[in-house]
Structure formats: C-alpha cells, structure tokens
DNA sequence: CATGACAGGTGGCTAAGCCACCGTCTAACT
DNA sequence: AGTTAGACGGTGGCTTAGCCACCTGTCATG
C-alpha cells in the first residue's frame, strides 16, 4: 500500500490506523454500527490480517471501537461533562444531560481499614483495626456504565449504612440521615489507561483513556470519605473556572520564567 | 499456555498482557531498561510472535513501554503534578519537582482567526479576519517532553510578540510587558488517547493516555488567550481542593438522589 | 583513528490455515 | 404452529514459517 507523502515512513499498521481513524471521524460509521471487518480491511487496503488486527486494536484501545469475538467490530460514542467545582450528584448531572441515571452496587462490606490499604488508612487518618465501609458502585446513564466508583467511609460516621442506601445519592444521605455537611474535598485527577477489569465493568476496552479521581472529602474538618473513582474518558470532560487574583501576585516581579 | 482460573476465558493476548503488566509492576525492569523482546516472550510463554506483539502493543498504547524498531522494547516512567488552582508556570513547577525546565517553540505565526478554526474564533470572540498569533510549544523537563501546548492570542493584545519571547513564561510576559493581568480562566479537561503525531512530539506512543486541557484565559473580563494543551498522562496528575459550601445548599431538601 | 562492511538482534509484515465463538436459517420433531 | 437442534457462514483469535528493514556493535582495512 502506497503511503501518503510524509517525512517519516511510518509502519504500515500506523498508516492504516490513521486511515481507519479518518473513516471513523468522517461519520461514515455512526455509533453502534458495525465497522469494517479484518478481512474487509485486508481486501480494501491490501494488508495482512495481523496488520489489520493491530491497527484495529489501537482504535479499540482508544475506546473508538468495540471488538466482539465471532461477531465483529463496532463503533462507540457519546459524552457527559463533569463540573469539577461542585458536588452535583451524578444523578442530577445525567438528568441535565437528558439521560437516565441508575446505580449498580457491585460491592458493599465493612472491613478493617488495614484491609483497604495504606492509601485509605492515611487519607482517613484511621487506625489499622478501625472498620470502614468499602463500596464499589457502577453509575450508568441510559444503562451505559460511565463511572466506576470505589469509596471508603468510616463505619463510626455512618452506622447502619445499608446496601440499599447506596442506590441513592450518598451526599444527600450524609446531609439528611447523618447530619454531616460536606465542607470540602481534595482531589487528584489523573489520565489513565483503564485496566482490563475496570474497562470490562465500564463497558470499554482495556487501555481506553479515563480519569482516575482520587479524593478525600471532609465534614467540618474531619475526613469523611476517600474515593478512587474512574470516569470513562469518552464520556467525561472536566470543566474548571479559575479566578487568578490571589495566586498571580505570588509571581516574582522580575526573573526568568517559561 | 494454561490460563489462571478465571470465570471468563480471556483471549491469550489479554492474559499475556496481564502477565507482562505484572512483570512491569514488579519492578523487575526499571525505567529505561530494555524489556523482554517478542522472541523472548515467545520462548518464555509459549505464544506466537503476533500474539506477543499484540500484548506488547497494548502496553505500548498505555505508555508503559516504548518500542523502537530494530532495537527493542523499553520501559518508561516518571511524574510531575499540576496544581489546577493556580497559574504557576511550568518552569516553576518543574524546578520545584527538581527537574530542569526548557521550552521548544515548534510553531509561531500570525494568522487570521478563521484559519485557527471556529473554536478559537468563538472562544476569543473574534471576527474571522482579525489576526491572532498561533503558537505551538513543547515544554520539557530534564529534556523530556511533558506538555504540548497550542495557544492562540489576539495580535492586538500582544503587538510585537516575537518567537524569542515564547522561550520564557508567557504569563509573566503579559503582566510585565503588556500590563495585562490575568484575572480568570475557564478550563475543560479531558482524558484522551494521544494521537500519533502528538504522541511522537511528546515522546510517547500513540494511544497513551493524556490530559487535553482546553482553556480560555481572561484579563479584566476580556478573552486573552485560548489554548489546547496536552499533558502526558504518565507525567501529570491534577490536584484540586474544593470547598463545598455554596454548592451544597443547592441540593433539594427532599427527593431521591443517586 | 576513521570508515565501511558484515553479522546478529530487533520489530514490521505477509501468507496461509485452523480454531472457537456467534448469529441466522432451516429442517425436524412435538 | 411452535420449539429445538444442527448446519452454515462470518467473525476475531491464534499459530507457524519466513522474509524484510532497521539498528547497533564489532572487526578489518585504509
């Protein structure tokens, strides 16, 4: 297959990948429709099946395509946005986007903090033996998984918490049932390639980009929860409005900056 | 190759991928060291070379490995963090992390706003013909690319801007040379798989996860710049501290939430 | 000391074939 | 008429074998 004029001679699988991406971007294959099969790619572009497979695999890894063994390759798509500034619940946000929210509780169990790992123990300032509730929830919009939430909360702050409680908004639960106002939260947001297991739960392919949000939430200065939550990269974007006033003055009046 | 007991029989390339990931996570191959070759994987795990290649390719796509044709497969790694709350310059942040910052100006040219695309025209509220400076900068830490910045600024707000100016901090330039204090910025942050071209510039493989930050910056209410900036996912994480007070009160007193 | 050739190791790629999964369609049985 | 089972075709997964081009290191020659 002749390559387009380019300064660098790219490997064939990368050139093919670019061509397939253009096909996807062109809209010729709308979301959920079947994409070209490996054999069709072989015929159309004159490459071998392993090369076609490798080019497709990269698009699968990006979350653009979905491969089903014995059936075919399908196009994926659609997006929610996450307002980083507020604690607007997932349900509300999904509804605002015109989508139907739901929640699957995958795991819910009390365990000693040490079982949850040093990250949890440190974030919540707990002794090793203190019990926490560990929960894993899958949040869905229109029956499509979009968030995989792992959260830990000290049992002593939420006694009597039940699996059923987790079907609803945990934020309003804290406020209304436990009288614990959420006053602040610290978040770390990373871009990650989703692992196979997490990707499977989220209905995307392993390696697709997603956000990993590690956060500690506080109520009047006391750590209330710690979470490790994955957001599908193809379904979420973060919005941030940032006033600059106080920070800007910290810049030195002179000196070199990049 | 026999599979570990699992509920779902995963394809061989995915099982192999998990095994290779465990090898990476174990620390047996430190950063920059050569990883197993395809032929070594064939010998050790009893799979075919195309299967070994596919398993490796997924790790390459995640940014864990770096493939060099004719040379081998190498392990990657190291991380900066980005404080989302402040306009601390890249240089300062890199220095605080004990790394040497530098900047490569890849492109710098004036162009009519319409050439920059509707996103730029809209974000900066410009007429189609109004000239903007378009710039592409690569930010490096210890000679390793970590940020790929694309930015547009109206010419009329920065007359006389030169390519040389861009070697330094553009924020301090605005303040000191143009007397334009930065007062606020709006950001959208997405997790994306880097395209081949961008990944190449950033020294990672196509498909590796990264942050795409789309932002509009303001000076006293007037749009000053628009940017589309890529942060390497393996080198950056975002930190956010979020007071909850105002927003929390917006939740209704009753009603179901998830 | 520098340069060029060669060998060996690397990933890229092809071809051919087979396997197992999956869905659809048809025929047979109830 | 409805249900079930089997066949068939299409799909991705995987193997085997071999060759190509890139890259580096070593050695010989000028």
Q: Do B251 and A206 touch (CB under 8 A)?
A: no
Angle at CA of residue B128, ends B124 and B131, nearest 5°: 70
Structure tokens at A189: 């947001």
- CB of A27 within 8 Å of a chain B CB? The answer is no
Q: Work out the percent of chain B whose per-residue pLDDT is above 70.
A: 74
What's the average model confidence in pLDDT over B86-93?
Answer: 60
Asked if the model's pLDDT at residue B8 lies above 70, the reply is no
Q: Give tens-digit pLDDT for B204-225.
A: 766 677 888 878 887 777 788 8
Residue B229: C-alpha distances to residues A127, B151, B168, B216 (Å) = 42, 8, 17, 11
Of B203, B202, B220, B233, the residue nearest B137 (C-alpha): B202
Q: Give tens-digit pLDDT for A110-168.
A: 888 777 776 777 778 777 788 888 888 888 877 778 888 888 888 888 888 888 888 87
CATH of domain A82-238: 3.40.1410.10
Nearest DNA or RNA nucleotide to A48 (CA to C1'): C14
Euclidean distance between CA atoms B159 and B142, whole angstroms: 32
Indicate where chain B has its CATH 1.10.10.10 domain(s). Answer: 12-75
Euclidean distance between CA atoms B186 and B46, whole angstroms: 52
pLDDT confidence of residue B196 = 67
Angle at CA of residue A82, ends A79 and A85, nearest 5°: 165
Q: Which residues contact A49 (CB under 8 A, 6 or more apart)?
A: A38, A39, A42
| Bases in strand D with any atom closer than 7 Å to a protein CB | 10-18, 21-24
pLDDT confidence of residue B191 = 75
Q: Give tens-digit pLDDT for B109-122.
A: 888 877 777 677 77
DSSP structural state of residue A99: -
Asked if the model's pLDDT at residue B87 lies above 60, the reply is no
Euclidean distance between CA atoms B13 and B19, whole angstroms: 10
Beta strands in chain A (DSSP E): 65-68, 72-75, 82-83, 101-112, 131-141, 144-154, 184-193, 209-219, 222-232, 237-243
Q: Do A11 and B69 touch (CB under 8 A)?
A: yes
pLDDT confidence of residue A6 = 31
Cβ–Cβ < 8 Å for A55, A18: no
Other beta carbons less than 10 A from residue A79's beta carbon: 13
Euclidean distance between CA atoms B240 and B253, whole angstroms: 27
pLDDT confidence of residue A218 = 79
E strand or H helix at B139, and its extent? Answer: strand B131-141
Distance in angstroms, CA of B155 to C1' of C25?
Answer: 67
What's the average model confidence in pLDDT over B65-92?
Answer: 66
Q: Which A residues in the span 109-168 are in contact with B, Cβ-Cβ below 8 Å?
A: 139, 167-168
pLDDT confidence of residue A8 = 47
pLDDT confidence of residue B257 = 25
pLDDT confidence of residue A88 = 54
Selecting from A193, A231, A258 the residue whose C-beta is nearest the C-beta of B89 gives A258
Indicate where chain B has its CATH 3.40.1410.10 domain(s). Answer: 82-239
ipTM value: 0.46
pLDDT confidence of residue B96 = 63
E strand or H helix at B50, and its extent? Answer: helix B49-61
pLDDT confidence of residue A249 = 21
Q: Which residues of chain A have pLDDT under 50?
A: 1-8, 78-81, 85, 243-258
> Which CATH number fits the domain A12-75, given the four candidates 3.30.413.10, 1.10.4010.10, 2.40.100.20, 1.10.10.10?
1.10.10.10
Question: Average pLDDT, whole number, for chain B?
Answer: 74
Distance in angstroms, CA of A50 to C1' of D20?
Answer: 16
Q: Work out the percent of chain B whose per-residue pLDDT is above 90.
A: 0
pLDDT confidence of residue A7 = 35
Cβ–Cβ < 8 Å for A244, B85: no
pLDDT confidence of residue A5 = 31
Confidence of residue B68 (pLDDT cuts 50, 70, 90): confident
CATH of domain B82-239: 3.40.1410.10
| Best B7, B67, B85, B209 residue to mutate vs chain A (most A CBs within 10 Å) | B209
């Amino acid at each position: 297959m002749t390559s387009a004029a380019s300064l660098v001679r790219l490997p064939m699988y990368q050139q093919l990948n670019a061509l397939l991406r253009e096909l996807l971007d062109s809209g010729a294959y709308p979301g959920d429709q079947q994409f070209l099969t490996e054999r069709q790619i072989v015929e159309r572009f004159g490459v071998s099946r392993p090369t076609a497979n490798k080019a497709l695999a990269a698009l699968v890894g990006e979350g653009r395509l979905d491969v089903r063994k014995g059936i075919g390759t399908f196009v994926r798509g659609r997006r929610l946005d996450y307002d980083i500034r507020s604690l607007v619940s997932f349900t509300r946000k999904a509804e605002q986007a015109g989508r139907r929210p739901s929640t699957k509780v995958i795991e819910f169990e009390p365990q000693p903090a040490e079982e949850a790992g040093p990250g949890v123990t440190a974030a919540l300032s707990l002794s090793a033996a203190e019990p926490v509730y560990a929960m894993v929830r899958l949040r869905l919009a229109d029956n499509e998984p979009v968030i995989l939430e792992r959260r830990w909360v000290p049992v002593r702050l939420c006694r009597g918490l039940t699996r059923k409680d987790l079907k609803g908004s945990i934020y309003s639960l804290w406020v209304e049932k436990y009288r614990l106002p959420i006053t602040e939260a610290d978040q770390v947001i990373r871009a990650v390639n989703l692992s196979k297991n997490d990707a499977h739960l989220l209905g995307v392919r392993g390696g697709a980009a997603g956000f990993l949000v590690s956060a500690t939430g506080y109520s009047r200065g006391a750590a209330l929860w710690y979470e490790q939550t994955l957001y599908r990269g193809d379904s979420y974007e973060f919005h941030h409005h940032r006033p600059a006033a106080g920070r800007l003055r910290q810049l030195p009046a002179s000196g070199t900056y990049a």
